[in-house]
Structure 1
Amino acid sequence: MKALLRVLQYLRPHRTLAILTLLCAACATAMELVPPWVIKIIIDDVIQAKQASLLPGVIGLLVAAYVFKNVFASLRIRLNNQLEQTVVHDLRRHIFAALQRLSITYFENRSTGEIMSRVTNDTEHVERIFIDGLEGMMTASLTLVGITGLLFMLNWKLAVLALLPIPLLALSASWFTSKVHGYYRETRQSAAELNGYLQDALSGIRETMGFGRQGHEQARFDRLSQAYSDKNLKAMVLWSMYSPGMILVGAFGTILILWYGAGEVMDGRLTLGELVLFLSYLAMFYVPINQIHSVNHMLQHALAASERVFDVLDTVPDVADRPGLLAPDQRAQGDVRFEQVQFYYRPDVPVLKGFSARVSAGERVALVGMSGAGKSTLLKLLMRFYDVTDGAILIDGKDLRDLPLAYLRQQIGFVQQEPFLFNGTV
Structure 2
Amino acid sequence: MRGPAGLAGPALKKADDFRGTVRRIVGLLWRDKLRLTSVIGFGVLMVLGMLAVPTVLGRATDHVIAGAAAGDVDFAGLAKILGLAVAIAVATFGITVSNGRTIAKMAQYMAYDLRTEADRKVAALPLSYFDSRPRGEVLSRVTNDIDNLTQTVGQVTQRVVQGLLFLIGVPIMMLTISPLLTLVVVLTLPLTVLAARLIGKRSQPRFVQQWATTGKLNGHVEEMITGHQLVTLFGRRAEGAAVFKRYNDDLYENTVRAQWVSALLGPAMAFLGLVTYVLVAVVGGLQVAAGLLSFGQIQAFIQYTNQFSNPLNMLAAMFGQIQSAVASGERVFELLDAEEQSPEPQGAGDALAAVEGRVAFEDVSFRYLPDEPLIEHLWLEAEPGQTVAIVGPTGAGKTTLVNLLMRFYDLDAGRITVDGVDVSTVERERLRRRIGMVLQDTWLFEGTIAENIAYGRPEATREEVERAAQAAHADHFIRTLPDGYDTIVGADEGGLSAGERQLVTIARAFLIDPSILILDEATSSVDTRTEMLVQQGMVALRQGRTSFVIAHRLSTIRDADVIVVMEHGTVVEQGPHEKLLASGGAYARLYEAQFAQPAVEEEDVVATPARA
TM-score, length basis structure 1:
0.94
Runs of 4+ deviating beyond 6 Å: none
Partner of residue 13 from structure 1, selected from 2, 12, 31? 31
The one-character-per-residue Cα deviations of 1:348-399 (angstroms, maximum 9, x if unpaired) are 5544344322222233333334443333222111101112333321111122
**Larger of the two Rg values belongs to structure:** 2
Q: Secondary structure at the match of 2:390?
A: coil
CA distance in 1, matches of 2:387, 2:137: 41
CA distance in 2, matches of 1:284, 1:390: 67
Identity %: 28
Aligned ranges 1:68-79 → 2 under 5 Å: 68-79=91-102
- 217-226 or 409-418, which deviates more: 409-418
Tell whether 2:330 aligns with 1:307. Answer: yes
Q: Is the 8 A contact 2:352 2:431 kept in 1?
A: no
- 266-275 or 291-300, which deviates more: 291-300
Hey, what does 2:549 align to over in structure 1? none
**Equivalent position amino acid for 2:381 in 1:** R
Hey, what does 2:139 align to over in structure 1? 116
CA distance in 2, matches of 1:307, 1:236: 19
Tell whether 2:317 aligns with 1:291. Answer: no
CA distance in 2, matches of 1:302, 1:327: 45
CA distance in 2, matches of 1:275, 1:160: 15
CA drift at 1:295 = 4.3
Q: Is the 8 A contact 1:183 1:231 kept in 2?
A: yes
Q: Is the 8 A contact 2:265 2:319 kept in 1?
A: no
Closer, same or farther: CA 315–208 of 1 in aligned 2, 3 Å? same
Q: Secondary structure at the match of 1:414?
A: strand
**Equivalent position amino acid for 2:44 in 1:** A
Hey, what does 2:115 align to over in structure 1? 92
Q: What is the root-mean-square deviation in Å for CA atoms of aligned residues?
A: 1.9
Partner of residue 2 from structure 1, selected from 11, 20, 23? 20
Q: Secondary structure at the match of 2:104?
A: helix
Hey, what does 2:551 align to over in structure 1? none
Hey, what does 2:389 align to over in structure 1? 366
Hey, what does 1:46 align to over in structure 2? 64
The one-character-per-residue Cα deviations of 1:129-161 (angstroms, maximum 9, x if unpaired) are 521232221111112221111111111111111
CA distance in 1, matches of 2:75, 2:233: 87
Q: Is the 8 A contact 1:128 1:298 kept in 2?
A: no
Closer, same or farther: CA 371–154 of 1 in aligned 2, 3 Å? same
CA drift at 1:126 = 2.0
Aligned ranges 1:2-401 → 2 under 5 Å: 2-49=20-67, 50-328=73-351, 330-347=353-370, 349-401=372-424
CA drift at 1:318 = 4.6
Number of paired residues? 426
The one-character-per-residue Cα deviations of 1:189-221 (angstroms, maximum 9, x if unpaired) are 111111111111111111221122222211111
Closer, same or farther: CA 163–348 of 1 in aligned 2, 3 Å? closer
The one-character-per-residue Cα deviations of 1:65-115 (angstroms, maximum 9, x if unpaired) are 111011100110111111111122111111111111010010111000110
- 245-254 or 56-65, which deviates more: 56-65
Q: Which has the higher contact order (CA 8 A, sep 6+)?
A: 1
Closer, same or farther: CA 53–319 of 1 in aligned 2, 3 Å? closer
TM-score, length basis structure 2:
0.66
**Equivalent position amino acid for 1:53 in 2:** A
Q: Secondary structure at the match of 2:204?
A: helix
CA distance in 2, matches of 1:298, 1:357: 58
CA drift at 1:347 = 4.5
The one-character-per-residue Cα deviations of 1:212-262 (angstroms, maximum 9, x if unpaired) are 222221111111100111111221221232320121012100000111112
- 225-234 or 120-129, which deviates more: 120-129
**Equivalent position amino acid for 2:190 in 1:** P
Structure 1 residue ranges without an equivalent (≥5): none
Q: Secondary structure at the match of 1:325?
A: coil
